[in-house]
Amino acid sequence: MKRISQYRRHKAAGPFLLILALLAIGTTFNVASAVTSSQTKAVDRSVLIEEGRQIFLKGCSSCHGLNAEGGQIAPSLIGVGAASVDFQVGTGRMPMADMNTQAMRKAPLYDAVETAALAAYVSSLAPGPEIPAESSLNYERDGSTAEGGELFRNNCAMCHNFAGQGGALTQGKYAPTLMGVSPKYIYEAMITGPQSMPVFSDKTITPAEKVSIIKWIKAAENEPNLGGASLGRVGPVTEGLLGWVLGLGILIGVAVWLAMKAR
Amino acid sequence: MTIEAGLGTVANYVDERTGAAAWMKKNLQKVFPDHWSFLLGEVALYSFVILLLSGTFLTFWFDPSQREVIYDGGYAPLEGLKMSAAYASTLHISFEVRGGLLMRQIHHWSALIFMSAIVAHLLRVFFTGAFRKPREGNWIIGIGLLTLGIVEGFLGYSLPDDLLSGTGIRIAEAIIQALPVVGSYLSYFAFGGAFPGESFIPRIYTVHVLLLPGAFLALITVHLMLVWYQKHTQYPGPGRTEKNVVGYPLMPTYMAKAGGFFFIVFGVIAFLSAVASINPIWLYGPYTPGQISAGSQPDWYMGWLDGLVRMAPPIETHAFGHTISWNILIPGLIIPGILFTGMALYPFIESWITGDKREHHLLDRPRNAPNRTALGAMSLTFMLVCLINGGNDIIATHFSLTINQIMWFTRFGVLILPPIAFVVTKRLCLSLQRADRDLVLHGRETGTLLRLPHGEFVEVHEPISPEKTYLLTSHEQAPALELPAVDAHGVKRAGGLRNKLRARMSIANAETVTKVSANDLKEIEHH
């Protein structure tokens, strides 16, 4: 030991020990966590499902039934899949605040862990669409904006408006704005068809095409207002209003001023 | 040589050869009355000039062709898409031509302001009775200009071949097809085959840049020449009669004012175009018949028509192998046809009711023609209700309403609200007449309270100025026409029903609060 301990005052000893310690801890943690995750996955999942069931019984069962079988005012959740739960709960649409027309986007009531538990519980009832993996949502890398735009105008614009600003449906229902929605939720909405929205299965729009649509929506979101103030990107209604109020309004003001000066 | 002497030499040279001096002297001194509402027509004229200039700029690059091209311009989100050359060249104007987007926006904003100025000018002429003899012809030309403006605006909106304009053309096609019997043939003729075809955009381009601007120029010239020849109307007031015009000479006052006002109009439109986006066609995408956007709307001057079509209940009949789509035919063609014909004929209808065939150069104050004012308010209400339904989807999402609520509101509202507006406006006019009468008889309320010796409080009234008294009492109050059913010999007159209708309308038209007469005024002076 003396051979090693004689270097204990060496100026490189401190950094060396630090690097050694970090390496040791890192390696141990990596090995240990890999082992435990593979070992406890099954256990964790059943715990998660049970957790989700408890949340479900407290927060959801009054409408969706004790076994998620649905009721008079809410549909059955058997077979809707984890993606549906993740979308509805994660965007705050569920639990519903107002049952009149349709669930609206609001601050979520459950946190990420609780949402995951609920999703696990519901997907344990029957198979359904799964939450898309983070790696499949890399729209920056995988998508094509132009193709996404064409798909968007073919499939989405009739309800969500040409620039994804949303639009009105019948009886007070509406297609919400797509601005500021995270790619995961856009994807989940396409595969689960929430509210009045149809399901766009992978046969109708392939996963690659879905990513392109997301890429186009994100491009529209970040698109600068090239012509000046956008006026809400809702078409000629706001343009006409501005033309009358500001355009003709200012000119009438000037006309009044011109006629006043003469007196 | 001084500048004056130089100018004099030039002027003399021209005068010796054309004899223009006398003509110029007479016309440059022509007097025009002054009022802000007389400038509304000028706004329309100036925006038309701006439309011509900016439109000419756009034609340098616009390619009016439906030939399919693959986009490889500077706007990445449309890169590699198939589109018409018309759309691609509009993108080119927007993104690659220097100042192109600003010019496009100037062209479109001035079109919107052109139309709203025409409507505001029309309302001024209507409510003040400026359309009366001898100006009926000019009124009809004005209605013609309004109609042309709507068509010209719609064609311009259709030219870029973006998703929104294609949707508009699709609806125009539906309206053409709704014409019984000839509709489908006309549609094939207009589009050179089935919709959308390849000929429509080149065709409407010729109409938009050549035929209609030519018609506009001709009609505007006649419109202005008639104003010149018949002289401008003026508001009533002391010293103003049917035989004179009180105002300022064209040179220098109106030359300066009108010239300055042109640049103000140009400035306001350029400012609007620089700060506010209009018709962002790159966001709409190229037109394909399979696509549509939520909230597709026409420009505002077509909005009331769109609203009428949107509120029409789905009624169709099938007869002799033909379908008649009443839900398009009635709101798309019949109602606008009736409205515009009625509007054009209104001067003649009014003179038939009043029996007044004299010339009028003094304007009416709207309150002194309650029936006409009420009719105007009624028409405006009708248009406004239709316009609201035209934007029903945008209103629904922005005001948390439902499309169905708005549709049902307007379906009933379009029938119920205009008559209510008529009654309310007429009563308001009569009340204002009553207020005028009170003002003349009792003077202005000063707000000074006086306590009389026996304790009573009274408000001190101050007599109004003679000018004001004149203004409030100078108008005519014509009695209703007397149209007895039988003539002096006890013989029933021809056209009994027509006379009855005319007599009833005349009585309604003559309903008024009796103004203070000259005798009453004398009596007041005695007090």
Domain span including residue B112: 28-295
Cα gap A163→B460, rounded to integer Å: 65
Tell me whether residues B39 and A167 touch, CB distance under 8 A: no
Strand partners, B449: B459
Tell me whether residues B261 and A216 touch, CB distance under 8 A: no
Please tell me whether residues A115 and A149 are part of one structural domain: no
Tell me whether residues B277 and A226 touch, CB distance under 8 A: yes
Distance from CA of B459 to the nearest CA of A (A): 33
Could you tell me if residue A253 is inside a domain? no
The residue of chain A with its CA nearest to that of B83 is A150
**For testing the chain A interface, which of B102, B268, B302 should be mutated: the one with the most A CBs within 10 Å?**
B268
Tell me whether residues A227 and B276 touch, CB distance under 8 A: yes
Q: Provide the domain count of chain B.
A: 2
Could you tell me if residue B513 is inside a domain? yes
Provide the Cα torsion B300, B303, B304, B310; round to 10°: -170
Q: Which residues of A touch B392 (CB under 8 A)?
A: 168
Q: Which residues of A touch B114 (CB under 8 A)?
A: none
Q: Which residues of A touch B278 (CB under 8 A)?
A: 227, 231, 239
DSSP letter (8 states) at residue A100: S
Please tell me whether residues A154 and A168 are part of one structural domain: yes
Distance from CA of B212 to the nearest CA of A (A): 23
Q: How far is residue B490 from each of residues A121, B250, B486, measured CA to CA in Å? A: 98, 58, 5
Q: How far is residue B45 from each of residues B126, B216, B217, B525, measured CA to CA in Å? A: 19, 10, 10, 49
Number of residues in chain A = 263
Model ipTM value: 0.91
Would you call B507 helix, strand, or coil by DSSP? helix
- Tokens 């001023």 correspond to A257
Q: How far is residue B472 from each of residues A94, A260, B362, B371, B436, measured CA to CA in Å? A: 67, 21, 14, 19, 6
Tell me whether residues B265 and A251 touch, CB distance under 8 A: yes
Could you tell me if residue B408 is inside a domain? no
- Tokens 């890429």 correspond to A215
B294 → closest Cβ in A160, A171, A230: A160
Could you tell me if residue A205 is inside a domain? yes
- The CATH number of residue B84's host domain is 1.20.810.10
Distance from CA of B229 to the nearest CA of A (A): 23
Domain span including residue A83: 31-131
Tell me whether residues B77 and A252 touch, CB distance under 8 A: no
pTM given for the model = 0.89
Which of B249, B273, B295 is a domain's end point? B295
Tell me whether residues A242 and B276 touch, CB distance under 8 A: yes
Could you tell me if residue B284 is inside a domain? yes
Please tell me whether residues A109 and A37 are part of one structural domain: yes
Which of A94, A111, A131 is a domain's end point? A131
Which of B263, B295, B327 is a domain's end point? B295
Could you tell me if residue A229 is inside a domain? no
Could you tell me if residue A13 is inside a domain? no
The per-residue pLDDT of chain A, averaged, comes to 89
Distance from CA of A200 to the nearest CA of B (A): 17
Q: Which residues of A touch B248 (CB under 8 A)?
A: 262
DSSP letter (8 states) at residue B38: G
Distance from CA of A237 to the nearest CA of B (A): 6
- The CATH number of residue A188's host domain is 1.10.760.10
Which of A131, A156, A182 is a domain's end point? A131
B403 → closest Cβ in A146, A170, A251: A170
Q: Provide the domain count of chain A.
A: 2
Could you tell me if residue A237 is inside a domain? no
Please check whether residue B407 touches A, CB under 8 A.
Answer: no
pLDDT at A108 over 50: yes
- How many CA atoms, within 13 angstroms, populate the side-chain half-sphere of residue A207? 12
Could you tell me if residue B321 is inside a domain? no
**Predicted pLDDT of residue A263:** 47
- Cα of first residue to Cα of last residue in chain B, in angstroms, is 70
DSSP letter (8 states) at residue B33: -
Phi, psi of A102 (to 5 degrees): -155, 160
Amino acid, res. B243: K
Tell me whether residues A154 and B291 touch, CB distance under 8 A: yes
Which of A82, A108, A131 is a domain's end point? A131
Cα gap A26→B169, rounded to integer Å: 67
Amino acid, res. B218: A
Distance from CA of B252 to the nearest CA of A (A): 13
Please tell me whether residues A122 and A137 are part of one structural domain: no
Which of B228, B260, B295 is a domain's end point? B295
**Predicted pLDDT of residue B135:** 96
Cα gap A250→B120, rounded to integer Å: 14
Per-residue pLDDT of chain B (527 residues; tens, 9 = 90+): 688 888 889 988 988 898 888 888 888 888 888 899 999 999 999 999 999 999 999 999 999 999 999 999 889 999 999 999 999 999 999 999 999 999 999 999 999 999 999 999 999 999 999 999 999 999 999 999 999 999 999 999 999 999 999 999 999 999 999 998 899 999 999 999 998 889 999 999 999 999 999 999 999 999 999 999 999 999 999 889 999 998 888 888 888 888 999 999 999 999 999 999 999 999 999 999 999 999 899 999 999 999 999 999 999 998 888 888 999 999 999 999 999 999 999 999 999 999 999 999 999 999 999 999 999 999 999 999 999 999 999 999 999 899 999 999 999 999 999 999 999 999 999 999 999 999 999 889 888 999 999 999 999 999 899 899 999 999 988 888 887 777 778 777 777 788 888 888 999 999 999 888 878 888 777 66
